[in-house]
Structure 1
Amino acid sequence: MSGADGLPIVFDGPLAVVGGGVVDPALLVELAGRGVALVGADGGGDAIGAAGLTPAAIIGDLDSLADRAGWERRTRVIHLAEQETTDFEKALYSTTAPVTLALGMTGKRLDHTLSALNAMHKFAPSRHLLLVDEVDVALAVIGPFSFQATKGERVSLYPLAEVSFTHSEGLLYPLDGLTLAPGGRLGTSNAGLGGRVEIVPADATPWLLILGKARLWDMVRANL
């Protein structure tokens, strides 16, 4: 069906919003098999279809979606014509879920990748977001966060805005008293010492915790 009535769409379990960038079809199949709902952000609906799956909905301005009429016979297609936001943002403000994965938001166009990072910053205060690419998973974090890391595991932090840290444990390079900022000092390629990692920022500024893609389900569980 078509239209924007009945928004936001409420998902009780994890949700994956799929864009038109680089998407691993096998991962989409795995997500569906684990009970993760799939929503296409405009042309991301075609990426879901190419994996042999049907999205729960397709949301966007629909300028990239092939065969809109065919999709409308199979699932809910929501046309949002406003041009103040990206299709990723449209999918985010039109849904709710306990944790949301974002796939296909990177890898083809740099402007889309940068827009996805901007959306992570914008929506981090209101929902748990994980940006997934071919190599990494990036969790948008507000406030303290702790997790288990193996010795030598790559742990990167990226500041979405200027953010200061009061304390850290379990990292090769401590963050105590450091300020990270775009255009300034970054937190690329830190490493776990083995065991519990704790990161404590000074305020509620969003930042990204970037780990290898193998940690995807650990981060999903941590946010559920």
Structure 2
Amino acid sequence: MVTLLGGGEHDPADLADALARAPVLVAADGGADHALALGHHPDAVIGDMDSLSRDARAVLGPQRLHRIAEQSTTDFDKALRNISAPGVIAVGVTGRRIDHELAVYHTLITRPEKTCVVLGREDIVFHAPPRLRLDLPVGMRVSLFPMAAVRGQSTGLRWPIEPIDFRPLGQIGTSNETAAPQVEMRFDGPGMLVILPRAALDAVLSALI
């Protein structure tokens, strides 16, 4: 598995948590500067390289730098689509700039073939696969945010999601919670983001990978 480090807000403990589970480190452009500052040398840096410092370039050398010049996508998108791994934990891609954070969630939806969990200060976010089964403590918060029109079915949630028509300009699913130790959800198409507390990280990785 791969830890993908961006240039956004994160605590050093976030990176340590991710690397304990996903030991290969890839940086999205200027995220390499954050990695070096914490004593880590990324195996690869992917992006348009417009925010990577000269010092970082010199330390890492050209063999680790993978420049993608197009400006139609973000560095997070460039990195994620070019990583070949069973799963990715993304760190430093939330907080700070809201437009960048929203672009990350857009990429999660538009790259459904990529298994990626975004690690935030309090929560984790990932794109729901067609079928998802999670072992979680009873009473844990489960939020669903549709980025497209989606319908689903669930067992183990306090408020079942069937027959709700989820859509960005309509019904969303903030602050549901588990009512059983196993939760199962099915969705009829892509577009649903699942938001859980960080304590669910290992359960999510086990379910997705």
Q: TM-score, normalised by structure 2?
A: 0.93
Please identify which structure carries the higher helix content. 2
Alignment partner of 2:46 out of 55, 59, 66: 59
CA displacement at 1:29 relative to structure 2: 2.6
SS in 2 for 1:32: helix
Q: Which whole-Å deviations, capped at 9, do the CAs of 1:60-109 have from their partners, x for residues lacking one?
A: 11111112432333860111111011000110122111011111111000
Q: Which moved more, 1:93-102 or 1:69-78?
A: 69-78
Q: Is the aligned partner of 1:171 residue 2:177? A: no
| d(CA) in 1 for partners of 2:84, 2:67 | 18
Q: Which residue of 2 aligns with 1:73?
A: 61
Q: Which residue of 2 aligns with 1:219?
A: 204
SS in 1 for 2:65: strand
CA displacement at 1:30 relative to structure 2: 3.6
Structure 1 residues without counterparts, runs of 5 or longer: 1-13
| d(CA) in 2 for partners of 1:114, 1:157 | 15
CA displacement at 1:173 relative to structure 2: 0.8
Alignment of 1:1-224 (within 5 A): 14-66=1-53, 67-73=55-61, 76-124=64-112, 126-165=113-152, 167-201=153-187, 203-224=188-209
Distance 1:129 1:33, change over 3 A: closer
Q: Which whole-Å deviations, capped at 9, do the CAs of 1:18-43 have from their partners, x for residues lacking one?
A: 11101221232343344521111011
SS in 2 for 1:95: coil
Q: Which whole-Å deviations, capped at 9, do the CAs of 1:148-189 have from their partners, x for residues lacking one?
A: 222211011111211011x21111111111111112111100
| d(CA) in 1 for partners of 2:21, 2:155 | 33
Task: Give the CA RMSD over aligned residues.
Answer: 1.6
| d(CA) in 2 for partners of 1:175, 1:69 | 49
Q: Is the 8 A contact 1:172 1:191 kept in 2?
A: yes
| d(CA) in 2 for partners of 1:68, 1:151 | 46
Distance 1:146 1:45, change over 3 A: same
Q: Is the 8 A contact 2:135 2:203 kept in 1?
A: no
| d(CA) in 1 for partners of 2:15, 2:94 | 15
Which runs of structure 1 show a deviation greater than 4 angstroms over 4 or more consecutive aligned residues?
A: none
Q: Is the 8 A contact 1:71 1:77 kept in 2?
A: no
Q: Which whole-Å deviations, capped at 9, do the CAs of 1:125-169 have from their partners, x for residues lacking one?
A: x1211111111011211212111222211011111211011x211
Q: How many residues align?
A: 208
| d(CA) in 2 for partners of 1:35, 1:195 | 26
Structure 2 residues without counterparts, runs of 5 or longer: none
